[in-house]
């Protein structure tokens, strides 16, 4: 953890120092401390962006809410941990606000903090960013040039995270996640390249390359007697491309793969063109046997309207509902309601963000069947996925 850059923002000196000492014990050597938002922004201006900000909310001077908004505008934070003694529902609302600002929320902690919680959240950041300290955003024009070159040079790769049966932990499918294998900075997240691809109208090119990689891996897996289906992420706007479903059909035909090999996950926060072309693409994909899923369900808008008017056959419940599952009855009630609604509509439900046995046990008691999260596996590159699956199948057969 020595290369992590961390900001501790808290107006209580003893609490602030305690967090810094905990981080130092965990191996962090680059720690900034501030007592209120203005001071924190000045430190970020002088020292550059940080990987994680442990951010208090209620402070004299600039409070945590204003700080998060201004820091996000300056691209000064990669991720944030909300630390506060305010009510849990308020902490959850602030976490959602931070997500809408483009920040990754690692979690929420109530004071006083415990060492194991700080270590767990810092490890969560490192698990998703193995080359800790590498930038998520490359500077200015260099960023655009390098992203376009990366697409041309096939540096944008697919990492795979399994979905699993919550009760048996058997793998049911895998989600394809875009990553940039940067020649200098290592593995970078989508935040470093998606905005550029969107500006240049290259999201479809990325999508078709991802499908190509998935179906190539499917063919390799089939040769090893491993059956794989894939979920790929799409922006809502991509359904408005008149050639989308036709292009997908050509890829499936080229690999001699059934439509059921693919599912398309659309983030709920995306703006969906209500025109007939989007709906036609969705219908044609479903008619081919492909799946359609609303990703991050509950984190966007128009949920019920989309479910009733569009041909989705799966929803993925946002990980935000899982983080405080053991202590927050609202989260359990929300999940139960979604499960009941999904059963009435005859659509599947996937629970994202499952990290602990306790969460799994609660979800089983609620009637959940399919999940995804670090409890089973982290995202992994293609060359690791197949050996992992073969080894896992062999272990299951021996047990």
Which of the residues are catalytic? 352
Q: What is the DSSP letter of 315?
A: E
Q: Tally Cβ neighbours within 10 Å of residue 80.
A: 29
**Cα 290 versus chain centre, distance:** 22
Residues whose CB is less than 8 angstroms from the CB of residue 377 and which lie 6 or more positions away in sequence, other chains included: 161, 162, 388
| Cα 123 → chain centroid | 16
Name which of 284, 295, 276, 293 is nearest 252 in CA terms. Answer: 284
**Class of residue 337 by CB neighbours under 10 A (exposed 0-12, middle 13-18, buried 19+):** exposed
Distance from C-alpha of 7 to C-alpha of 30, rounded to nearest angstrom: 9
String of DSSP letters for 135-151: -SS--HHHHHHHHHHHH
The tokens 């897996």 sit on which residue? Answer: 221
Q: Which residues contact 105 (CB under 8 A, 6 or more apart)?
A: 79, 80, 81, 82, 95, 98, 99, 320
| Cβ neighbours of residue 192 closer than 8 Å, sequence gap 6 or more | 135, 136, 137, 138, 143, 147, 180, 182
**Helical residues (DSSP H) of 164-302, grouped into ranges:** 194-199, 203-223, 244-254, 276-288
Using an 8 Å Cβ cutoff, are 65 and 40 in contact? no
């Amino acid at each position: 953890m020595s290369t992590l850059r961390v900001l501790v923002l808290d107006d209580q000196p003893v609490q602030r120092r305690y967090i810094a000492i905990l981080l130092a014990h965990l191996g962090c050597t680059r720690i900034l401390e501030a007592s209120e938002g203005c001071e924190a922004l000045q430190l970020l201006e002088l020292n550059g962006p940080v990987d994680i900000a442990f951010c208090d909310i209620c402070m004299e001077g600039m409070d945590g809410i204003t700080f998060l908004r201004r820091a996000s505008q300056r691209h000064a934070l990669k991720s944030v941990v909300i630390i506060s003694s305010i009510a849990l529902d308020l902490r959850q609302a602030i976490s959602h606000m931070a997500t809408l600002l483009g920040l990754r929320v690692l979690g929420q902690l109530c004071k006083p903090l415990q060492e194991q919680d700080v270590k767990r959240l810092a490890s969560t950041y490192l698990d998703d960013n193995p080359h800790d300290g590498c930038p998520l955003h490359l500077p200015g024009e260099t960023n655009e040039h390098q992203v376009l070159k990366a697409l041309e040079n096939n540096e944008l790769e697919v990492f795979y995270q399994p979905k699993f049966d919550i009760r048996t932990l058997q793998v049911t499918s895998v989600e394809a996640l875009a990553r940039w294998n940067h020649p200098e900075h290592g593995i970078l997240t989508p935040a470093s390249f998606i905005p550029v691809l969107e500006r240049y109208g290259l999201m479809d090119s990325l999508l078709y390359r991802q499908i190509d990689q998935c179906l190539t891996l499917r063919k390799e897996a089939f040769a090893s007697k491993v059956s794989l289906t894939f979920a790929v992420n799409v922006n809502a706007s991509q359904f408005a491309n008149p050639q989308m479903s036709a292009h997908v059909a050509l890829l499936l035909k080229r690999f001699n793969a059934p439509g059921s090999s693919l599912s398309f996950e659309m983030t709920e926060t995306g703006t969906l063109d209500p025109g007939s072309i989007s709906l036609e693409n969705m219908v044609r994909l479903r008619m081919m046997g492909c799946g359609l899923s609303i990703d991050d369900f509950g984190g966007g808008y128009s949920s019920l309207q989309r479910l009733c008017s569009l041909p989705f056959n799966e929803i993925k419940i946002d990980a935000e509902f899982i983080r405080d599952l053991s202590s927050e009855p609202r989260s359990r009630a929300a999940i139960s309601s979604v499960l009941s609604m999904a059963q009435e509509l005859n659509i599947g439900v996937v629970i994202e963000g499952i990290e602990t046995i306790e969460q799994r046990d609660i979800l089983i008691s609620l009637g959940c069947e399919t999940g995804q999260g670090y409890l089973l596996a982290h995202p992994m590159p293609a060359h690791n996925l197949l050996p992992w699956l073969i080894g896992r199948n062999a272990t299951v057969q021996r047990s």
